[in-house]
Structure 1
Amino acid sequence: MTTALPRTTREVRLAAVPEGLPAPEHLTVVTTRLPEPGPGQLLVRNRHFLVFPGLRTLIGADAEDLPLPALHPGDPLFGPAVGEVLAAPADSALRPGDRVLHMLGWREYALVAAADCTALDGTLPDPVAHLSPGSAAYGALTRLAEVRAGDTVLVTGAAGAVGSLAGQIARLLGAGRVIGSTGSPEKAERLLSELGYDAVVLRGSGSFADELAHAAPEGIDVLVDTVAGEQLAAALGAARQGARFALVGALSGQMAPGRSGGSAPVTIDAFRLLLKGVSVRGYSGADHPDVAAEWTARFGDWLRAGQISYPHTRIAGLDHAPRALREMIEGRHFGAVVVEL
């Protein structure tokens, strides 16, 4: 007996472009007709999707020259999702019941080109771990900063989706001292007690540069920066000779109420860059296509060995997804934010 395929799906769409930070009222949950799968398409029932900071930029006025398409009113949101195949072409290697990773989250059911799906093969013990953005942290630490045994590593935004993994990865790669930054005393405690950070610089408790100097009196060798702004400038002041800075985010500008999400200006001391021989490089996964598979394999091994955790918060239900985006922007959660359908 053939199971009838769903005729409709619910999805989250952009209702209006916000003047400042997006709020739930700028998004809407709608029911829409679900077409029959076309040639080369899979019908996937989504189970979980990631709420990621890049959406703030994609729905802002500065969403130009980005690797992902800008969002306009009426467009459905999108992002990494894991789901179960309900229907597949006869010539596809994927079959109904297979679990896949794709980019059409923010909806209950998705029609996805088979070529745009990655089959989940059990490399990670929990399919939701495939939504981890740890590949960026791993790539930054192995391809740009190349952390070495005994290095002192600073991770800004250490309680975020990328930062909460970056410190753990740095330690596993041989870092001798790992320092994080966050704006919440509760998150600072969790970084120390759960993720093994040696010290945490609490943003807003005083001069960030002074607090960093106290946490890293001998300076830092590596920076994994998800924030930019004053934290990047302070890290440069703490840089040791030959320090390597890897930039993987710019949350200070991206999440600023007075900006539109597409810029993060910062003033840095160019003379100190020269004096200390500091390298500053931005990380893009597209420049390192070999990283994703390497990261997934190592992540799976580390998870099974109990050497790493995947900090994340699960928000239940598509109706709560608009609120989940706002809460992620406000930094209410520890680690990644995942919507569970």
Structure 2
Amino acid sequence: MPITTREWQLAARPHGEPTPDDFRLVELERPDPAEGQVAVRMLVMSVDPYMRGRMNPGKSYAARWEIGETMKGGAVGRVVASRSPAVPEGALVLADAAWRDVAVLDAAHVRVLPELPGIPPSYHLGVLGMPGLTAWAGLFRLAEFREGDTVFVSGAAGAVGSLVGQFAKLNGAAAVVGSAGTPEKVRWLTEEVGFTRAFDYHDGPVAELLAGAAPEGIDVFFDNVGGEHLEAAIGAFNEFGRGALCGAISGYNATEPAPGPRNMFMMVTKKLSLRGFIVGDHADLRDEFTTKVTRMVTSGDLVVRETVREGLENAVDTFLDLLRGGNTGKMVVKLAD
């Protein structure tokens, strides 16, 4: 008997900021699982900044969404029917099949998750998932964090940035400075998350705000924003500073190329190392990351915050709100209990 599912498709490629007209919600019938397949009812799906790039026609590190195609992204679900001994019915699984309420998938394309008492399934999309591993790999491998470093994190109140700052503090950073987009986020970072100092980047030139927050300079920069933040960090770096460049959300909706930092020559004079990275290239760190960060979560050492919206029908509005900075911590859409 076919499975009825609701799915979001890409209806048009946006020019600049996406609008609801660029998406459409459809109802489809999918066949029952064949041999080696499973049917998964999605419990919670992720919306992430990188998804904006998947709407563009050009080549990127993540496969673009085609017009009329059901969009994809991280989701955690429960297997409701299985024709694979490797993935039994009832298993909690992670899949790249969000933006729908039910999916029929090859069993090889899902990962069975452990049942962790007291840990919500959504954490596998955030602190224990791709954003958490991104923070871990970027800070420790790419930026080569060392005890005593002063760390600056742009987009610090997001899913990745808030974890970078905490990982640094828990491993002996001298100071952790963050930028965010609202006074409420700044207060959350300093009063609850444990950042040494934070500032609202709307309050003035980022270079001046950073100089006030880190008067003795920075040793490590974790960048989620790009643009003015990257230029400010180059100016604030001490000699031999290291940067992990994760994203540049300030330019994701730009219709013209943004100007580059005007102080690039300081990379030479200060002997800096700036390294861009994609988390998929660092999957070898997953076991170490999962073991250590699960312990941090269960012990209460990490502050974990989610912005949760309800219902598949609200997924597009949630995604657009994410691109405007409407989240604190990880943004997810709850699809089912």
- The interval holding the TM-score normalised by the smaller chain is over 0.9
Q: Is 2:32 aligned against 1:39?
A: no
CA 1:265–1:89 in structure 2 vs 1: closer, same or farther (change >3 Å)? farther
The number of equivalent residue pairs is 330
CA distance in 2, matches of 1:169, 1:6: 46
CA distance in 2, matches of 1:255, 1:130: 28
Alignment partner of 1:48 out of 44, 48, 61: 44
RMSD across aligned positions (CA):
1.6
Is contact 1:46–1:109 with CA below 8 Å preserved after alignment? Answer: yes
CA distance in 2, matches of 1:213, 1:186: 21
Q: Is 2:304 aligned against 1:304?
A: no
TM value normalised by structure 2: 0.94
Aligned residue runs from structure 1 range 1-341, under 5 A: 7-61=3-57, 63-64=58-59, 66-90=60-84, 92-122=85-115, 125-132=119-126, 133-256=131-254, 258-259=255-256, 265-341=259-335
CA distance in 1, matches of 2:96, 2:258: 26
Q: Which amino acid aligns with 1:199?
A: R
Moved more, 225-234 or 192-201: 192-201
Higher relative contact order (CA 8 A, sep 6+): 1
Deviations 1:43-76 (A, max 9, x none): 1110001001111111124x31x23221122111
Deviation at 1:101, TM superposition (A): 0.5
Moved more, 305-314 or 66-75: 66-75
Is contact 2:234–2:264 with CA below 8 Å preserved after alignment? Answer: no
Is contact 1:220–1:239 with CA below 8 Å preserved after alignment? Answer: yes
Q: What stretches of structure 2 of length at least 5 have no aligned partner? A: none
Deviation at 1:149, TM superposition (A): 1.1
Any idea what SS the aligned residue of 1:204 has?
Answer: helix
CA distance in 1, matches of 2:15, 2:280: 31
Deviations 1:30-55 (A, max 9, x none): 11011121232111110001001111
Deviation at 1:139, TM superposition (A): 0.3
State percent identity of aligned pairs.
40
Is contact 2:224–2:245 with CA below 8 Å preserved after alignment? Answer: yes
Any idea what SS the aligned residue of 1:270 has?
Answer: coil
Deviation at 1:220, TM superposition (A): 0.2
Any idea what SS the aligned residue of 1:164 has?
Answer: helix
Is contact 2:240–2:273 with CA below 8 Å preserved after alignment? Answer: yes
Moved more, 305-314 or 222-231: 305-314
CA 1:264–1:104 in structure 2 vs 1: closer, same or farther (change >3 Å)? farther
| Runs (4+) off by over 3 Å | none
TM value normalised by structure 1: 0.93
Is contact 1:123–1:297 with CA below 8 Å preserved after alignment? Answer: no
